Amino acid sequence: MTEAKANATAAAVRGTSDLAVHMEGVNKWYGAYHALKEVNLEVNRGERIVICGPSGSGKSTLIRCINQLEVIQQGRIVVDGHDLTAGGKNVDLVRQETGMVFQSFNLFPHMTVLENCTLAPMKVRGISKAEAEATARRFLERVRIPEQAEKYPAQLSGGQQQRVAIARALCMNPKIMLFDEPTSALDPEMVKEVLDTMIDLAKEGMTMLCVTHEMGFARQVADRVIFMDRGEILEMGPPDTFFENPKNERLKNFLGQIA
Amino acid sequence: MLIRPFGINEFWIIVMAAQWTIALSAIAFAGGGIGGLLIALARVSDAKWPRLLATGFIRIFQGTPLLMQLFLVFFGMNILGFAINPWIAAAVALTLHASAFLGEIWRGCIEAIPPGQREAATALGLRYFNRMRYIILPQASRIAIAPTVGFLVQLIKGTSLAAIIGFTELTRQGQIINNATFSPFMVFGTVAAVYFILCWPLSLLARRMEVKFSRSTTR
């Protein structure tokens, strides 16, 4: 806790705009329920963070605050130099620069894969249809499903849908990618294809925050792993120390349960 | 007054009066479409006041008879200093009525769209107008078609009440012919048959679309 505070002050000195994400004293309540308690977190550009914890620990809420799908009641969040607490235009800017992938894919069912990928670039960035489609096809190629471009989401498997969702987010050319349990709704045999896509993305240097229970993925790509429980960050560190030498009792418990 | 028999002429006069029923229905439906969309959007708004106002509007129109709504607009216009005009009064009252009911139907359709759709659109940077225009309303409208056509049938039948404020549509024309022929069974049988011919195809259409939709969603 004190270490995090020290980090926060250091950031204030060198300026929050050098960071991808800066969270300071963040508190959130759902009615009387305290969902996030005094959260402090700094994510450097290009850093890969994995957040884990039992269900209801606040990990999804945490990353949903970064693009303000959830509004915080206390504290400060600065994303890529844009202070969300200032509201207004900054919220739009942050949403344009962060891509998000959801547990339940959330593709638009009434649009083809290609239309899913081109809508936001055309309507938000004002890019021409031809250019948006070219970009979309490039990213669909990268997630290895270029041949599905004209299909509707319902015609695809879960793994394919999630890869489309990743491509859709990438089409906005985001600086930060947020993943909210991207493999939890998938059949086991489809988990790997989605994780492989995420690993590729990590290798290219994308700043990533992933809420996931895939500890293999965490070991392989994370620069830091965060453990949350009951709305608090209880432990944070590089995967080696996090998994081999956990200090917090609840984390030891948690690791014991999922191993 | 001379009593004349119910002949082919009288029959055609009644059938032709259906045009005014259709015209009034069309105006109320078009006006109610615009009003209903605004009411529905206000009803699902994040802001408190639009939501409360829209809810109040819907409650008032759902909780009072259409006939009273017609009377209030008809006589209310007179009190406000407008000349008594059954056409305008009927059009205004039915438009308000349709706005309330369509607003409530469409609110339900908008709320039936999973919240993840709005979240995904928001996360992509789409703002309110584009979210509604490209994501929420296209999906909601597919669910809305069947109940909307169903309401249109109610609205067509509802226009018959405008006869009471002196608007000469199908029902009123029937009353006029009946006063001249004293053949109520023939006259109102004809009137009812015309309503049926207008409404039945729409009911069939609504049912077919409902079946089609439930099939496409259970896939």
Q: Which of B46, B109, B122, B124 to mutate to test the interface with A (most CBs of A within 10 A)?
A: B124
Give domain status of residue A149, yes or no.
no
Q: How far is B100 from chain A (nearest CA, A)?
A: 28
Of B114, B117, B123, the CB nearest to A100: B123
CA dist list (Å): B210 to A67, A196, B29, B144, B214: 38, 42, 20, 10, 6
Give domain status of residue A146, yes or no.
no
Over range B33-61, report the average pLDDT.
96
- Beta-carbon contacts of residue B175 (< 8 Å; ≥ 6 apart): B163
Q: How far is B131 from chain A (nearest CA, A)?
A: 10
Give domain status of residue A118, yes or no.
no
DSSP characters for A159-224? HHHHHHHHHHHHTT--SEEEEESTTTTS-HHHHHHHHHHHHHHHHTT-EEEEE-S-HHHHHHH-SE
The whole-angstrom separation of Cα B146 and Cα B49 is 30
Give domain status of residue A207, yes or no.
yes
HEC assignment per residue over chain B: CCCCCCCHHHHHHHHHHHHHHHHHHHHHHHHHHHHHHHHHHHHCCCCHHHHHHHHHHHHHHHCCCHHHHHHHHHHHHHHCCCCCCHHHHHHHHHHHHHHHHHHHHHHHHHHCCCHHHHHHHHHCCCCHHHHHHHHHHHHHHHHHHHHHHHHHHHHHHHHHHHHHHCCCCHHHHHHHHHHHHCCHHHHHHHHHHHHHHHHHHHHHHHHHHHHHHHHHHHC
Of B119, B126, B127, the CB nearest to A106: B119
Confidence of residue B218 (pLDDT cuts 50, 70, 90): very low
Q: Which domain holds residue A188?
A: 18-106+174-257
Q: How far is B47 from chain A (nearest CA, A)?
A: 15
What does the pLDDT profile of chain A (259 residues) look like in tens digits?
445 554 544 445 445 667 999 999 999 999 999 999 999 999 999 999 999 999 989 999 999 999 999 999 999 999 999 999 888 899 999 999 999 999 999 999 999 999 999 999 999 999 999 999 999 999 999 999 999 999 999 999 999 999 999 999 999 999 999 999 999 999 999 999 999 999 999 999 999 999 999 999 999 999 999 999 999 999 999 999 999 999 999 999 999 887 6
Show residues of chain B in contact with A100, CB under 8 Å. Answer: 120, 123
Give domain status of residue A26, yes or no.
yes
Over range B3-17, report the average pLDDT.
91
CA dist list (Å): A108 to A38, A161, A235, B131: 35, 10, 37, 11
Closest by Cα among B5, B10, B3 to B191 = B10
Q: How far is A193 from chain B (nearest CA, A)?
A: 22
Edge to edge, the sheet with strand A48-52 lists A98-101, A176-180, A207-211, A48-52, A224-229, A232-237
Supply the pLDDT for residue B216: 58
Supply the pLDDT for residue A259: 64
Show residues of chain A in contact with B142, CB under 8 Å. Answer: 110
Interface predicted TM-score (ipTM): 0.90
Of A69, A92, A172, the CB nearest to B127: A92
SS3 of residue A41 by DSSP: strand
Q: ∠ CA(A158), CA(A160), CA(A166), 5° rounding?
A: 105
Supply the pLDDT for residue B127: 95
Domains and CATH numbers, chain B: 8-217 (1.10.3720.10)
Q: Between chains, do B135 and A92 touch, taking CB under 8 Å as contact?
A: no
> In the beta sheet, which residues pair with residue A236?
A226
Of A107, A119, A169, the CB nearest to B134: A119
The identity of residue A17, as a single letter, is S
Number of Cα atoms under 13 Å in the Cβ half of residue B4: 9
CA dist list (Å): B218 to A59, A154, B212: 33, 12, 10
Dihedral in degrees, nearest 10, Cα atoms A243, A244, A247, A248: 30
Q: How far is B210 from chain A (nearest CA, A)?
A: 18
Residue A148 touches partner B, C-beta closer than 8 Å: no
Is the pLDDT at B219 greater than 80? The verdict is: no
Residue A173 touches partner B, C-beta closer than 8 Å: no
Of A154, A172, A178, the CB nearest to B124: A172
The whole-angstrom separation of Cα A57 and Cα A253 is 14
The identity of residue A228, as a single letter, is M
pLDDT in tens, B100-124: 999 999 999 999 999 999 999 999 9
Supply the pLDDT for residue B3: 82
Q: Between chains, do A123 and B126 touch, taking CB under 8 Å as contact?
A: yes
- Beta-carbon contacts of residue A249 (< 8 Å; ≥ 6 apart): none
pLDDT in tens, B144-195: 999 999 999 999 999 999 999 989 999 999 999 999 999 999 999 999 999 9
Over range B84-103, report the average pLDDT.
94
Residue B209: count of CB within 10 angstroms of its CB: 17
Give domain status of residue A185, yes or no.
yes
Q: If you measure CA to CA, which chain B residue comes closest to A165?
A: B120
CA dist list (Å): A91 to A124, A194, B70, B136: 13, 29, 47, 21
User: For residue A64, what are its two tokens?
Assistant: 């949903």
- Looking at chain A, the whole-number percentage of residues with pLDDT higher than 70 is 93
Q: Quote the number of domains for chain A.
A: 1
The whole-angstrom separation of Cα B22 and Cα B194 is 11
Give domain status of residue A143, yes or no.
no
Q: Is A85 exposed, middle or buried (0-12, 13-18, 19+ CB in 10 A)?
A: middle
pLDDT in tens, B50-70: 999 999 999 999 999 999 999
A232: CATH: 3.40.50.300
**pTM for the complete prediction?**
0.87
Task: Quote the distance between the C-alpha of residue A23 and its chain's center.
Answer: 14
| First-last CA distance in chain B | 66
Show residues of chain B in contact with A119, CB under 8 Å. Answer: 124, 126, 134
Give domain status of residue A141, yes or no.
no
